[in-house]
Amino acid sequence: MPETDNPTPRTRVVREPERGVYHRDEVYGILDEGFICHVGFVADGQPFVIPTSYGRKDDHLYIHGSAASRMLRRIDDGIPVCITVTLLDGIVLARSIFNHSMNYRSVVVLGTAMVVEDPDEKLGALRLLSEHILPGRWENARKPIEKELKATSVLRLPITEFSAKVRKGPPIDDEADYVYPVWAGVLPLEVVPQTAINDPRMDPMREVPPYVKNYSRKK
């Protein structure tokens, strides 16, 4: 795979083209930091956008869910989907209302998702999803059994047609506004893990494992 892919007319960033990012390395960095995507698909002419978790391996995204899920059943026969991942990094306060903005990194992947039928690939994808969200958990927990695997669908989407849009840094004001007497800058936002809450049905003496206590999305 080339390190840089050319965007298609559908994925090229038109507004604020300087925010467009097409390098796989940078796009994969965004995909690997997030773990919730929004899946878009069309049913009877109506678009639907549903949040779900995902994992990435090489040039593929994997999503999963109940085999009875309406979304998975709709998108598993090769209809076009859009998977969008958004990381919100901060609120950008300019002098003018007009130049207020957000700092963010978002990725859009267009394509067609296919059901993973091969049992080894399916189990591997479930492990990937688990380790993507919570590294270290797979080895600790009770692994899926046949009945559970049957009740789960896994879909694979090749990362072929994609782009990212990234805004970072301070506000950009109109030159004449820089003298306007108001605070300007960035309020960074971060998803921060809080103190873990024991399941009330668990022995309260059991210790919180390090992969929970030290959880962080930063690589």
Q: How far is the CB of 3 from a copy of itself (least distance, A)?
A: 25
Q: Which of 134, 158, 160, 167 binds a copy of itself (CB under 8 A)?
A: 134
Q: Taking CB under 8 A as the rule, does residue 209 contact a copy of itself?
A: yes
Q: Whose Cβ is closer to a copy of itself: residue 2's or residue 65's?
A: 65
Distance CA 219, CA 214 (A): 13
Of the candidates 137, 128, 101, 115, the one whose C-alpha atom is nearest the C-alpha of residue 210 is: 137
Q: What are phi and psi of 215, to 5 degrees?
A: -60, 135
Q: How far is the CB of 23 from a copy of itself (least distance, A)?
A: 20
> Which residues within the stretch 32-51 sit at the binding site for a copy of itself (CB under 8 A)?
36, 38-42, 45-51
Distance CA 170, CA 189 (A): 14
Distance CA 184, CA 193 (A): 28
Residues in the chain: 219
Q: Taking CB under 8 A as the rule, does residue 136 contact a copy of itself?
A: no
Q: Taking CB under 8 A as the rule, does residue 146 contact a copy of itself?
A: no
DSSP string, 5-69: -PPPTTTS--SSGGGEE-BHHHHHHHHHH--EEEEEEEETTEEEEEEEE-EEETTEEEEEEETT-
| Binding-site size, a copy of itself (CB under 8 A) | 90
Q: Taking CB under 8 A as the rule, does residue 17 contact a copy of itself?
A: no
Q: Taking CB under 8 A as the rule, does residue 114 contact a copy of itself?
A: no
> Which residues within the stretch 66-95 sit at the binding site for a copy of itself (CB under 8 A)?
66, 68-70, 80-84, 86, 88, 90-91, 93-95
Q: Taking CB under 8 A as the rule, does residue 196 contact a copy of itself?
A: yes
Q: Taking CB under 8 A as the rule, does residue 202 contact a copy of itself?
A: yes
Of the candidates 37, 69, 68, 6, the one whose C-alpha atom is nearest the C-alpha of residue 157 is: 37
Q: Which residues pair with 127 in a beta bridge?
A: none
Q: Which of 1, 17, 120, 192 binds a copy of itself (CB under 8 A)?
A: 192
